[in-house]
Structure 1
Amino acid sequence: MRWIKPLAIGALCLTLTACATSPTGRQQLTLVSDAQLNQMGAQAFEQYQQDLPTVGGATHRYVQCVADAIVGALPPEQQRAQDWQIRVFESDQANAFALPGGYMGVNTGLLRIAETQDQLATVIGHEVGHVLARHANERVSTQTATQLGLSVLSSVSGMQGPAGEQMMGALGLGAQYGVLLPFSRRHESEADIIGLRLMAEAGFDPRESVTLWQNMEAAGGGARPPAWMSTHPSQGQRMAGLQANMDDALARYERARQAGRTPNCPRP
């Protein structure tokens, strides 16, 4: 087992050289090149447009208007760093997504819940937040590091046979609920806060972010898994996080309005 120590040292060095900082100041592990992920994002975005019908006309202009206002409030270097694109997809699911490279999608089902431009800005700001915080890179890197750790542990311990498989299964379950899902919930909460700042800086009313989640809660219904078993925080947790950061967001909103940022995106 002489190879174990060099492998551990190598993994530690890789981890130390792959540390980054998110827009909220949180330390991140990023092992994958942004260029590679951006290319994958572009390919996935193209596939989305082939698989689902897109919506144009006034609906797309409305969504594009909100997205342009948010991206336009970013520093110039962040505007140039991504190929910011957004599409509206015909789907009853109340959902939106962001891909590496700045590619975003909003479903028509979500537009029925986001009743105002400010509520839609909550969603788009959240998705832009995922991109700025490089959450896709962090998720891929965390999963890669976790799988590597489990493989090394299996080799070191010599776990084989049914008992070994059962133990590795338990460890894998622990990694899922103890590492991967919490990271995903952390990403969602962080994107909420970044999005709250972005929408306010673009001149959208940040108080509408809470109203959006109230609408989501009213439209959702049905039983949900406990927050610790979910990839997303509960809606109550999300609203509490937004409220906790509302004073800062309102100050940004007032400065944006004083600077003349007053978006007016007509809802179709």
Structure 2
Amino acid sequence: MKHFRIFALFILFVTACSTNPFTGESTLNFQSNQEIFPVAFQQYEQFLEQNQVIRGTEDAEMIKDVGQRIKNAAEKWFQANGYPNYLDGYQWEYNLVKDDAVNAWCMPGGKIVFYTGILPICQDETGVAVVMGHEVAHALANHGAQRMSAAQLQQLGAIAGNVALSGNAQTAEIFNQAYGLGTQLGVMLPFSRAHENEADIIGLRLMAIAGYNPEAAPELWRRMQARGGAEPPEFLSTHPSSVTRIENLQSKVEEAKEEARKYGVESFQ
């Protein structure tokens, strides 16, 4: 009976899919927005309380303005493509936080943070739009919920394997080592890199619809690459290499411009 329950849960998780509106492909996701958004919003507020949020400066206002333009571009895209209610429940917020880390991130539901350390790499408003488009794309494609779902499925597989091997401690130990390494290198890391690539391309499209020049995206990653520092081999990383990102973005620049023209955008900032 115990084996049957685990198998039933496994089938339930595997079949719990949603559709990515940007690609039309099914994605593993059994976390509803109603469940995950309130938790994300609470964690975001806690983060802001514990960190130095910069308010009222020119940079802080720019972050908010760019975020609003990218969000408006997303609304246009969803309306035009038959998803008028897709953004229900999202509560967009864009904050600049004092931190030297070259980073920005977005929580499920549209809660975004830029660190001051990434602004020199962005250089200007268009550079900020590159990063903002990428972060907004993560939220729109529900990448956070998908990563949670994949992690739970990974954990369930480990439990099922250990139940099947119960009574043989040595074999179970070998299984756990092989399973952990195999799923990390073969599933979880490629899954994360795929999300990063997808967010790059969706973000490129959104920034173009918002009127920002998508040619700035590969240029930003060239600047990121020029910072130096050793990158881990791509297969060991949660993110694609800078070379991969530059090539992927460069190959999609003209497509992004063409997409923007559908919305009346003829020139780019």
TM-score calculated relative to the size of structure 2: 0.90
2:106 to 92, 98, 101: 98
Q: Deviations over 1:137-163 (max 9, x none)?
A: 100001101110111011112364345
Trace 1:113-124 onto structure 2 (pairs within 5 A): 113-124=121-132
Q: Deviations over 1:87-118 (max 9, x none)?
A: 00001111000001110000111111101211
Residue by residue over 1:50-94, the C-alpha shift from the partner in whole angstroms, topping out at 9 and shown as x without a partner, is 221011122211111111111112226345441000100001111
SS at match of 2:74: coil
Is the alpha carbon distance of 1:11 and 1:139 closer, same or farther for their aligned partners in structure 2, counting shifts above 3 Å?
A: same
Contact 1:24 1:190 in 2 (8 A): no
- In structure 2, what is the equivalent of residue 60 of structure 1? 60
For residue 11 of structure 2, what is the aligned residue in structure 1?
A: 12
1:133 to 128, 131, 141: 141
8 Å CA contact 1:24, 1:194 repeated in 2: no
Say how many residue pairs are matched: 259
Question: Kindly tell me: are residues 79 and 147 of structure 1, through their superposed partners in 2, closer, same or farther at Cα, counting changes over 3 Å?
Answer: closer
CA distance in 1, matches of 2:146, 2:69: 27
For residues 214-242 of structure 1, give each alpha carbon's deviation from its aligned partner in whole angstroms, at most 9, with x where no partner exists.
111112x1211100000000011111111
Q: What is the Cα deviation at residue 36 of structure 1?
A: 1.8
Deviation at 1:166, TM superposition (A): 3.3
1:238 counterpart = 2:245: yes
Deviation at 1:259, TM superposition (A): 4.8
* Preserved CA contact (<8 Å) 2:93 2:110: yes
Change beyond 3 A, Cα 1:137–1:130? same
Flag the 1:7–1:201 CA change in 2: closer, same or farther, 3 A.
same
Matches within 5 A, 1:156-167: 156-158=164-166, 160-167=168-175
CA contact (8 A) 1:193 1:242 kept: yes
1:1-268 alignment, distance < 5 Å? 2-5=1-4, 7-16=6-15, 18-22=16-20, 23-57=22-56, 58-75=58-75, 77-158=85-166, 160-219=168-227, 221-256=228-263, 258-259=264-265
- Between the aligned residues of both structures, percent identity stands at 34
Higher relative contact order (CA 8 A, sep 6+): 1
Gaps of at least 5 residues in structure 2 are: 76-83
Aligned partners of 2:128, 2:198: CA distance in 1, in Å? 18
Change (3 A) 1:6 1:52: closer
Gap change, CA 1:77 and 1:117, over 3 Å in 2:
farther
Per the alignment, do residues 261 and 38 of structure 1 end up closer, same or farther by CA in structure 2, a change over 3 Å counting? farther
Structure 1 ranges of 4+ moved more than 4 A: 259-263
Separation in 2, partners of 1:207, 1:162? 55
CA distance 1:185–1:164, shift in 2 (3 Å): same
State how far apart, in whole Å, the 2-side matches of 1:261 and 1:88 are. Answer: 28
| Per-residue deviation, 1:210 | 0.7
SS at match of 1:106: strand
Residues 72/262 of structure 1: CA separation in 2 closer, same or farther (3 Å cut): farther
Q: Distance in 2 between matches of 1:255 and 1:28?
A: 27
CA distance in 1, matches of 2:86, 2:163: 43
Retained in 1: the 8 A contact 2:17–2:28? yes
Whether contact under 8 Å (2:211, 2:267) holds in the other structure is yes
TM-score, length-scaled by structure 1: 0.90
SS at match of 1:233: coil
Q: Specify the code of the residue in structure 2 equivalent to 1:252.
A: E
Post-superposition offset of 1:119: 1.3
Does structure 2 retain, via aligned residues, the 8 Å contact 1:101–1:131?
Answer: yes
Tell me, in whole angstroms, the C-alpha distance in 1 between the residues paired with 2:167 and 2:204. Answer: 47
Query: Which residue in 2 is equivalent to 1:266?
Result: none
